[in-house]
Amino acid sequence: MRVCVDARLGGGRFGGVEQVLIGIAAGLSKLDDGEERYLFLANPEEDAWIRPHLGGPCELLHPGGSRLKRRTRAAGHAVLERLPVIGPRHAVRSSDGTAEKAGVDVIHLPIQDGFTTDIPTIYQPHDLLHLHLPELFSRWEWRRREVIYRTLCARAETVIAMTSWGKRDLVERYELPPEKVSVVPWGSVLWEYPTPTESDLEEIRARLSLPDVFLLYPAQTWPHKNHERLLEALALVAERHGTRIAVVCPGRQNKHFRQIRRKVTELGLEGQAFFPGFVSPLELRSLYGLALGLVFPSRFEGWGLPICEAFSAGVPVASSSATSLPDLVGDAGLLFDPDDTEQIADSVLRLWSDARLRGELAERGRNRGELFDFDRTARLFRAHYRRVGQRPLSEEDRILLASPPLA
């Protein structure tokens, strides 16, 4: 059986989706007990980020045509999307024929902006943020998501959620049959990244101007990531307790970063809040190695990859209680209301000042993190590929498909 996984992303721009694809690639590459071949569809000029993680039964599949032709097609599609009246009818791309020519039996669409095809598909919309926080989207962006998500969910053989909460949300919001939505948890990809040496750690600490002790919050600067509320909590702790807690927030900086930067200045947190921008895999792993703890104040998450990364790195966690996050965290972290500055302040202060609590949370996190790894994720995806492709299931496949969700 030949499975195509859509990986047409430019490295370094897509945050968690990119990390998920790296995890899937690394997990599937280690499966040597099946007859499947996994073809990762990527543009040849943008495949450097995924290439190192492919091996074994995994290989690259490049679309036909020149780069100019692909870019012209994409630009034309973008223009059509924005035209009045006819735009929404053109919002969902159709396959360019690459997968069909390669004789693919099943297509996995782990990128929200997938494409239509007559080949059986598995689709991952990741989350329905636009329905929960519509104020964060323009009308055009909201309608575009609705057209793409609803179309691809309707056409898919199986729709994938990461948690039980995510499945319930898809079933309720899109009125999908419960049996059509399956839960496949993700894991940490931290161990796919280079291992830093002591000299790496010191060099990165100096180059990024890191404080000696800090909490970590890796996230792109989207509004729902709630950086401003975290900053307000840090200012509150400093005002009430005289404790200046430092936080390092790596991640791609989009247009909302201007507001975050203004908030840093307004609250006088220039020496406490550090925003190094997008960091390399080595730098990210180094940050986990240097951090005192992870704080994760997001208002909405379909999963929460940094929490899994913290678990795997033995870094204690204080997390938002929004959406799917309690399913993921379990009893392995502090939970707080992301809209309550007082609760965030209390949690970060406890994480910062209580060494015994950090030790307990780190141990619980390691234990819980063992449940979430991309080896199990890859095997569960393989079981779904075989099921959707109408191939015989192994005993392991049947057990995985029948097992209750881990989160």
Is residue 138 predicted with pLDDT exceeding 80? yes
- Residue 338 forms part of a structural domain: yes
pLDDT of residue 67: 60
Q: Vertex 347, ends 343 and 352: CA angle to 5°?
A: 150
- Residue 243 forms part of a structural domain: yes
Residues 264, 208, single domain; the answer is: yes
**Mean pLDDT, all residues of the chain:** 92
Do residues 37 and 277 make contact, with C-beta atoms less than 8 angstroms apart?
Answer: no
Q: What is the mean pLDDT of residues 132-142?
A: 93
- Residue 407 forms part of a structural domain: no
Q: Vertex 396, ends 395 and 401: CA angle to 5°?
A: 100
Residues 168, 310, single domain; the answer is: no
Tell me the sheet residues that pair with 249.
none
Do residues 107 and 99 make contact, with C-beta atoms less than 8 angstroms apart?
Answer: yes
Parent domain of 19: 2-187+373-402
- Residue 330 forms part of a structural domain: yes
Do residues 217 and 184 make contact, with C-beta atoms less than 8 angstroms apart?
Answer: no
Q: What is the pLDDT of residues 363-385, one digit of tens each?
A: 999 999 999 988 999 999 999 99
Q: How many domains does the chain have?
A: 2
The pLDDT-based confidence of 1 (bands split at 50, 70, 90) is very high
What percent of the chain shows pLDDT beyond 70? 92
Residues 293, 206, single domain; the answer is: yes
Residues 121, 270, single domain; the answer is: no
Element (H, E) at 145: helix 139-155
pLDDT of residue 41: 97
Residues 332, 391, single domain; the answer is: no
Do residues 86 and 365 make contact, with C-beta atoms less than 8 angstroms apart?
Answer: no
pTM above 0.85, yes or no: yes
Residues 269, 208, single domain; the answer is: yes
Q: What is the pLDDT of residues 393-403, one digit of tens each?
A: 999 999 999 99
Residues 263, 177, single domain; the answer is: no
Q: Any idea which of 70-84, 105-119, 137-151, 347-361 has the lowest mean pLDDT? A: 70-84
pLDDT of residue 74: 55
The pLDDT-based confidence of 107 (bands split at 50, 70, 90) is very high
Residues 71, 55, single domain; the answer is: yes
Q: What is the CATH number of the domain that holds 242?
A: 3.40.50.2000
Residues 272, 287, single domain; the answer is: yes
pLDDT of residue 30: 95
- Residue 287 forms part of a structural domain: yes
Q: What is the pLDDT of residues 267-278, one digit of tens each?
A: 999 999 999 999
Q: What is the mean pLDDT of residues 83-104?
A: 77
- Comparing 20 with 221, which gets the higher pLDDT? 221
- Residue 80 forms part of a structural domain: yes
Residues 301, 164, single domain; the answer is: no
Residues 304, 217, single domain; the answer is: yes
Do residues 23 and 184 make contact, with C-beta atoms less than 8 angstroms apart?
Answer: no
- Residue 260 forms part of a structural domain: yes
Residues 172, 210, single domain; the answer is: no
Q: What is the mean pLDDT of residues 323-337?
A: 95
pLDDT of residue 66: 58
Distance of CA 124 to the CA centre of its chain: 11
- Comparing 292 with 93, which gets the higher pLDDT? 292
Q: What is the pLDDT of residues 171-182, one digit of tens each?
A: 999 999 999 999
